[in-house]
Amino acid sequence: MSGNGVIRAAVVGGTGYTGAELLRLLASHPAVRLEVVTSRSEAGREVAELFPNLRGRVALRYEPPDPGRLAACDVVFFATPNGTAMEAAPRLLEAGCRVIDLAADFRLRDPAQWERWYGRPHACPALLEEAVYGLPELHREAIRRARLVANPGCYPTAAALALLPLLEAGVVEPEGLVVDAKSGVSGAGRQAALATQYCEVEGSFKAYAAGGHRHLPEITQTLAQGAGRPVGLTFVPHLVPMVRGIHATCYARLREPAADLQALLEDRYRAEPFVDVLPPGSHPETRSVRGTNLCRLAVHRPPGGHLAVVLAVIDNLVKGAAGQAVQNMNLLFGLEETLGLEGAGPLP
């Protein structure tokens, strides 16, 4: 950090939706000074020209990635495609930088799993053991001590926060878990693709990657930690015609039908600033978390009493990406965890 206690931050890949959200949050963070925003394709262009909401807040121009410029910062965020951060992280860590990767490069601990799901060998498998999975509600103390944080994916964040309390308490079976999740189209990124153009998705609703999604091994890895053993999970994502938001409906078979599920969730998250357990009978809405770092949860027990159903909603670009990255940065540098993330979301 600089002599006046300000964190010098760089964002690598600041042209996508996640990068833009990260810039928005960092620009108003009282303990951060943005030093570098990189983009090869937009080098020389003003950030505010691409994202006019940042006019008057981010006075930087995009520049090509320069290892020396990045290494002079205290923290480097990678809002880049999978496979980018793992090429650059070793040099930055050696220079004393903290690294927060918003892609999937360091989420899976097994390099063979990485290669299976991402189609290429991992560039620095030795760092997979060191990287801390950046779900503060599970790894808060490890994050405080970390050099390298693997920011969780959006679907895995919602699924983990919904199911972890039940698995940790042993009140549900670790086999037969189901996560039925829906995401807005911003989750597909900003790069043009016919299948995610709004004219193609408006008025429609579909599942995708039902045979196996890249987030599946990440979710099972996290839930297995909570359960203390391997879990069996079916995960099916869906695309819905809205810009932001994830709604995950999570099912688990009860081991203990008499368990007080409401109290269990309330107790688990009582001290968590960004998890809101709603009153019994509630049905959380994605619009209630838009633009915030909150996850809102509600638990139900359908007739018959053999299933627990947990509903989770997050903003995929905030708690599912950029906001959680800022939450992790706050922990890394000993700041209040909520700093720069306190605002309520807009309605309507």
| Phi, psi angles (nearest 5°) of residue 38 | -110, 150
**What integer pLDDT is reported at residue 55 of this predicted model?**
96
CATH superfamily membership of 7-130: NAD(P)-binding Rossmann-like Domain (3.40.50.720)
Q: Distance between CA 19 and CA 36 in Å, rounded? A: 12
Contact 337, 331 (CB under 8 A): yes
**What integer pLDDT is reported at residue 343 of this predicted model?**
85
Q: Which of 101, 102, 104 is nearest to 148 (CA)?
A: 101
Domain-by-domain residue ranges, the chain?
7-130, 155-316
**What integer pLDDT is reported at residue 192 of this predicted model?**
60
Q: Distance between CA 236 and CA 206 in Å, rounded? A: 10
**What integer pLDDT is reported at residue 305 of this predicted model?**
81
Q: Which two tokens stand for residue 265?
A: 């969730």
| pLDDT tens digit at each of 348 positions of the chain | 665 789 999 999 999 999 999 999 999 999 999 999 999 999 999 999 999 999 999 999 999 999 999 999 999 999 999 999 999 999 999 999 999 999 999 999 999 999 999 999 999 999 999 999 999 999 999 999 999 999 999 999 999 999 999 999 999 999 999 999 999 988 777 666 776 777 788 889 999 999 999 999 999 999 999 999 999 999 999 999 999 999 999 999 999 889 999 999 999 999 999 999 999 999 999 999 999 999 999 999 999 889 999 999 999 999 999 999 999 999 999 999 999 999 888 888
Q: Under CATH, what is the fold of the domain 155-316?
A: Dihydrodipicolinate Reductase; domain 2 (3.30.360)
Q: Which residue has the tokens 């919904």?
A: 162
Alpha helices in the chain (DSSP H): 17-27, 47-50, 67-71, 85-94, 111-118, 126-130, 136-144, 154-169, 198-201, 215-227, 261-269, 323-332
Element (H, E) at 311: strand 307-314
What's the sign of the alpha-carbon dihedral 306, 261, 290, 133? Answer: negative
| Helix/strand number for the chain, H first, E second | 12, 13
* pTM score, whole prediction: 0.96
Contacts of 80 (CB under 8 A, 6+ apart): 12, 13, 102, 103
Strand partners for 22: none
In the sheet with 295-300, reading across from the earlier edge strand, the strands are 206-207, 233-239, 177-183, 246-253, 307-314, 295-300, 275-277
Q: Which positions are annotated as active-site residues?
A: 154
